[in-house]
Amino acid sequence: MEPVIAGKFKGEVKQGGSVNFKNITFNPHGNGTHTECVGHITREAQSVNKALDRYFFFALLITVKPDLMGNGDSVIMPTAFKELFLTGEGIEAVIVRTSPNSSDKLHANYSGSNPTYFHHEVLSYLSAAGVNHFLTDLPSVDRESDGGLLLAHKAFWGLPDRCFEHKTITELIYVPNKIKDGFYLLELQTAPFEMDASPSRPILYEVEF
């Protein structure tokens, strides 16, 4: 973020300018919590702003622990969801908090660290069960470097056979430990950018049954 400098004009009050007037350069996918649509991986442009026609959803928050694979990868496997039955329950969004869950996630630099990711069958199951919005505290549902396979992304969005333009994936969230697993009302706030992803702010509200 830098102030606009144009001739004698300085877009920062502390530099003598009359107003703060700054340019921001960022990448939604790499600079914090963001929500993405299928346009993240398709040749055709798709807008996350068009994928959302409402912003409140019945959601389930669950905490899962990754498994350590023989190659050293940390992977969320389908077995972590074996007791989760979603079909017919009206659950529109699933929020996954990974364990361990320290506040280090708020400022972690994941680049080049091969962070935890999801087995693609997890996203396939959730999508088939009617989940339209998937949220996770991981930087990506897929392996950091997978040769462009993007199996989990494709599984959730139904590619290559189908293309679920109304489904979204939100990454790099953080759910404090004080918030218990269970059902919530999710408000998925996004900036109205006409691009494949947008910075977002998911908010959970307690519900009473």
Per-residue model confidence as pLDDT tens digits over 49-71: 999 999 999 999 999 999 999 99
Same domain, 8 and 68: no
Helices (H), the chain: 48-51, 120-128, 151-157
Same domain, 105 and 128: yes
CATH number at residue 200: 3.50.30.50
Same domain, 119 and 163: yes
Whether the pLDDT of residue 87 is over 80: the answer is no
Same domain, 81 and 137: yes
Same domain, 139 and 67: yes
Same domain, 16 and 80: no
* The pLDDT of residue 9: 96
Same domain, 66 and 148: yes
Portion of the chain with pLDDT greater than 90, in percent: 93
* The pLDDT of residue 167: 98
Same domain, 58 and 6: no
Same domain, 81 and 155: yes
Q: What is the number of structural domains in the chain? A: 2
Same domain, 74 and 137: yes
Predicted confidence (pLDDT) per residue in 17-49, tens digit: 999 999 999 999 999 999 999 999 999 999 999
Predicted confidence (pLDDT) per residue in 160-192, tens digit: 999 999 999 999 999 999 999 999 999 999 999
Predicted confidence (pLDDT) per residue in 110-153, tens digit: 999 999 999 999 999 999 989 999 999 999 999 999 999 999 99
Give the residue-averaged pLDDT of 10-21.
97
Same domain, 112 and 161: yes
Same domain, 39 and 89: yes
User: 166 and 51 in contact (C-beta within 8 Å)?
Assistant: yes
Q: Which domain holds residue 147?
A: 32-206
